Structure 1
Amino acid sequence: MTSTPPPPDAPQPSPAMPPGWENPAVRADRRLVEMLQELRVLQTGVQIVFAFLLGIAFTPRFTELTDDQQDIYIATLLLTVVAAAVLATPVALHRGLYHHPAKTRIVTVSTRIAQIGLVLLASALTGAVLLVLDVVLGTAVAVPIACVIALTFTGLWFVLPWSVRRAATHDQD
């Protein structure tokens, strides 16, 4: 991913400026802009999953789903809606608190909210995979595969960043 340029009103780096030239306000602006761009990508994925789930309910075969499959469907649909709301919250915060002096706090809160949104999105995607595989292959095959999917999300989206952050912290010591 490429780095986002600083806001137009931010001081521009020059060769004379040392690394880490950003003041806290400029750094917070940059981080918020980067996060909002990342969330824009995630929001598209959530919308695609939501559209897929909405379409399922209007297919003739939907009435053939078992009660358990309909429960998975409803839980997945609701997880997707809540993920969309949570992942859009940093945007709402940014709009609602535009030019607010506590930009660093806004970034911190938005980061936590985005992490919650990732958990919800991973759960929704896992639920969608579980539903489709349950219908196509049966529960005995679907559940273990969905568990592997959930573990994959956990590893890539949470454990990997944590371990990279931890290693970087140890490298600085």
Structure 2
Amino acid sequence: MAPEPEGPGGAAPPPAEPRRGRDESAEERADRMWADLLQELRVAQTGVQILFGVLFIAVFQPAFTDLGDTDRALYVTAVVLGAASAGSLIGPVSLHRMVAGRRIKPQTVVLAARMARTGLLLLAVTTVLTLLMLLRVALDDTLAAWLAGAVGVWLFTLWFVLPLWARRHYTNRE
């Protein structure tokens, strides 16, 4: 039987820590994370398409001409932010096309994930503004603001607070 290798100072080496996570190279991890991100973007883009479609249709309705300045400002802001959200959520596809084959997939995944987070934030704001605009037509302005604000808090909690909490809470646990 071969003697055990000695660590520094002649002591036995510390026991190897068990591996956590997947056994994959940086490139394999980037490929997996890219595939995950694309699936997430497909879900988010469906929401953007539906919301953006509602906004596009609204301007062609006869009642649109009766909107006041505040509601028109809400509408314009929601449309502009909706377009920015769509751009942020579609941006990773363009990024990938422009850098494909350059051997920078890990960096591409990081940049694309940032675009996706930005797109989700813009989508949340667009959703709240659209809801506020619609509720102002149906309800008292104060109640509309409270309801839209509550939905905004709910979306922010689900889309940002809970994921950040989960990342912090579960990342360092065995």
TM-score range, shorter chain: 0.7 to 0.9
Q: Following superposition, which runs of at least 4 residues in structure 1 exceed 3 angstroms of deviation? A: none
Q: Give the whole-Å Cα distance in 2 for the aligned partners of 1:28 and 1:64.
A: 51
Give the AA of the match of 1:163.
W
Unaligned runs of 5+ in 1: 1-17
Q: Match of 1:85? A: 87
Q: Match of 1:140? A: 142
Give the AA of the match of 1:139.
D
Q: Give the whole-Å Cα distance in 1 for the aligned partners of 2:128 and 2:28.
A: 38
Residue 100 of structure 1 deviates from its aligned partner by 2.1
Q: Match of 1:111? A: 113
Q: Give the whole-Å Cα distance in 2 for the aligned partners of 1:19 and 1:37.
A: 21
Q: CA RMSD in A?
A: 1.3
Question: Aligned pair 1:71/2:61, yes or no?
Answer: no
Residue 157 of structure 1 deviates from its aligned partner by 0.5
Residue 115 of structure 1 deviates from its aligned partner by 0.6
TM-score (norm 1): 0.86
Question: What does 1:1-173 correspond to in 2, within 5 Å?
Answer: 20-172=22-174
Q: Deviations over 1:116-163 (max 9, x none)?
A: 111000000111110110111021111011111110111000000110
Secondary structure at the counterpart of residue 163 of structure 1: helix
Q: Give the whole-Å Cα distance in 1 for the aligned partners of 2:150 and 2:105.
A: 38
Q: Give the whole-Å Cα distance in 2 for the aligned partners of 1:139 and 1:38.
A: 35
Aligned length: 155
Q: Give the whole-Å Cα distance in 1 for the aligned partners of 2:26 and 2:150.
A: 41
- Percent identical among aligned pairs is 37
